[in-house]
Structure 1
Amino acid sequence: MHALKWAFLIGACIYFCALAATVTFQRALIYVPIGDVKTPQDIGLHSGTDLTLTTADGEHLHAWYVPPAGDRPLILYFHGNAGTIAGREHRFKKLVANGNGLLAVEYRGYPGSSGSMGEAGLHADAEAGYQYAMAQQISPKRLIIMGESLGTGVAIKLAMQHESAALVLDSPYSSVADVAADRFWFFPARLFLQDQYRADQWIGRVSVPVLMVHGSKDRVIPIRFAEKLFALANGPKQFIRVSGAGHLAMGDVLGKVLTWIDQKVPTPAHASGLK
């Protein structure tokens, strides 16, 4: 009995120390701001401009802007938790190859941007991006809000708050709280999580067409969380399940995504059936 008592006490001590460390450093588990600061020209986006956006609370954000050609839509892009906008080089090139515009915002606390990471701050960063797009005389009817992974929650809340043409989500989640509770099932994650990104509470207030893309074998955000979110979304909506794909599966079906965008935001050429 004495040995069992000590074993229990040691196990409890280890558990609560691990819990305390996880709670203390939780944002380091969510936000991974690793990468280089580059210009659009560094990756071959020669029509792009390197920007500094100022948020309502005074932070300065690194951003890239590629103006749309003619009446092509502008894609307002929010990346995932790891890396930087420069790490999306191949995706960005494909998104703008047909004349689409791009505004990619680097979150606060990430390379090139001031401030510290946190949910409220990232939503303020999204707002700064939206306001910059409006200042460029981009019609909301030609604005696509797009997010990947962590950035899907940022994109959803922005689409809930502002007018746009459509919402595109790569590897979305119902909430970070759901994902954390699944991954850290041995801890009361929901109780201690600071940044919960309750996309499940926002998606029902989005009134524009929604496209969700998710890999069937995503181990970062299991597809069931995207399916839960999709069930809560208003129509018109479409879910592309990429069989056998892992996290950030949109790259595998980018042609389908671009076609969907053209259907939702037709240019005069598309509207008249011209190619």
Structure 2
Amino acid sequence: MKLLRNVVLALLFLGILAYAGIVAYMFVNQRALQYDAPGAIIALAETGLTDAREVAIPVGDSMVNGWYQPPRPGMPIIVYYKGNSGSFSQEHVRYEQFVADGYGFVAFDYHGFPATPGEISQANILADALAVYDWAGANGAPMLIWGRSLGSGPATYVASQRDAEALLLETPFLSALTVAAERYPYLPVALVMQDQFPSNEWIAGVTEPVLIAHGTADVTIGVSNGERLYALAPNPQALWIVPNAGHSDLWDAGIWNQARPFFEKARAP
């Protein structure tokens, strides 16, 4: 009986030790697990953006690199906050559509992503996001905010701190912590996760009209995240849920046909 008890205690100890090792590994490597930064940079000259230019926007003592094109007279600028993977330049088709319809845009890589060297962290991403918004807003054009996936976090944060015309969130999370907890329910993510992006808290300060778009087949950020975030918005205007659409399917599914009338309505007197 004593031998059996010792074996059970030893196994329990080993189990605790293994669990602690997993938690420690997740803590030390969490940003490598959370962000998927590497990717090719597409040259501006290889796109259809013939009137856009490369910009280096100051953020404290450093810069973030991106592209900018002013709008046609009387039209707004879309400040675009990219998702978690690769470079902003890979989504040039979106920017080409924006400018074809008269909108200006600014898009960029956060620190630590391909076009902008540096360290990835929530603090740096939020600082980058605010600096780019303020830089673009200095020309006096009306401002629109579009955040996709990871970018929904800084987009919501900026909208809570600044007065834009509208906020569009594409495949947003309720918070990054929510996604992590859903993905790793057996880990104490709330205790160890550093970059939690609490959009569920920031949305309370968003007075702009809000459109949220999500797909029911999104396995990266479940559709309930978008639905729950929309329910918290003080000024909800539209919830576009696309049946059978995955995390990267909404552009092809026609999100621009939802975004454009939403932006026009938000800007109407």
Whether TM-score is above 0.5 comes out as yes
Q: 2:56 pairs with 19, 36, 52, which one?
A: 52
CA–CA separation in structure 2 for the residues paired with 1:238 and 1:194: 31
* Counterpart residue type for residue 260 of structure 1: F
Q: Structure 1 stretches of 5 or more lacking a match? A: none
CA–CA separation in structure 1 for the residues paired with 2:250 and 2:168: 10
Alignment of 1:32 with 2:32, yes or no, is no
Mapped contact 2:230–2:236 kept (Cα < 8 A): no
Partner residue, 2:96: 93
Tell me the alpha carbon deviations over residues 49-88 of structure 1, each in whole angstroms, 9 at most, x when there is no partner: 0111110x21211111021122222100001111111121
Q: Structure 2 stretches of 5 or more lacking a match? A: none
* Count of aligned pairs: 263
The structural deviation recorded for 1:261 is 1.5
Moved more, 164-173 or 90-99: 90-99
Partner residue, 1:123: 126
The structural deviation recorded for 1:3 is 4.7
Partner residue, 2:18: 14
Q: TM-score, normalised by structure 2?
A: 0.92
Tell me the alpha carbon deviations over residues 138-176 of structure 1, each in whole angstroms, 9 at most, x when there is no partner: 2xxx21111001110100110110111000000011111
CA–CA separation in structure 1 for the residues paired with 2:73 and 2:43: 23
The structural deviation recorded for 1:6 is 4.2
Mapped contact 1:143–1:164 kept (Cα < 8 A): yes
CA–CA separation in structure 1 for the residues paired with 2:259 and 2:134: 25
Partner residue, 1:261: 263
The structural deviation recorded for 1:32 is 1.6
Mapped contact 2:171–2:226 kept (Cα < 8 A): yes
Mapped contact 1:203–1:233 kept (Cα < 8 A): yes
CA–CA separation in structure 1 for the residues paired with 2:148 and 2:63: 22
* Counterpart residue type for residue 92 of structure 2: E
Moved more, 239-248 or 82-91: 82-91
SS at match of 1:164: coil
SS at match of 2:254: helix
Q: Pairwise CA RMSD of aligned residues?
A: 1.7
SS at match of 1:80: coil
Mapped contact 1:105–1:125 kept (Cα < 8 A): no
Identity of aligned residues (%): 31
Mapped contact 1:73–1:265 kept (Cα < 8 A): no
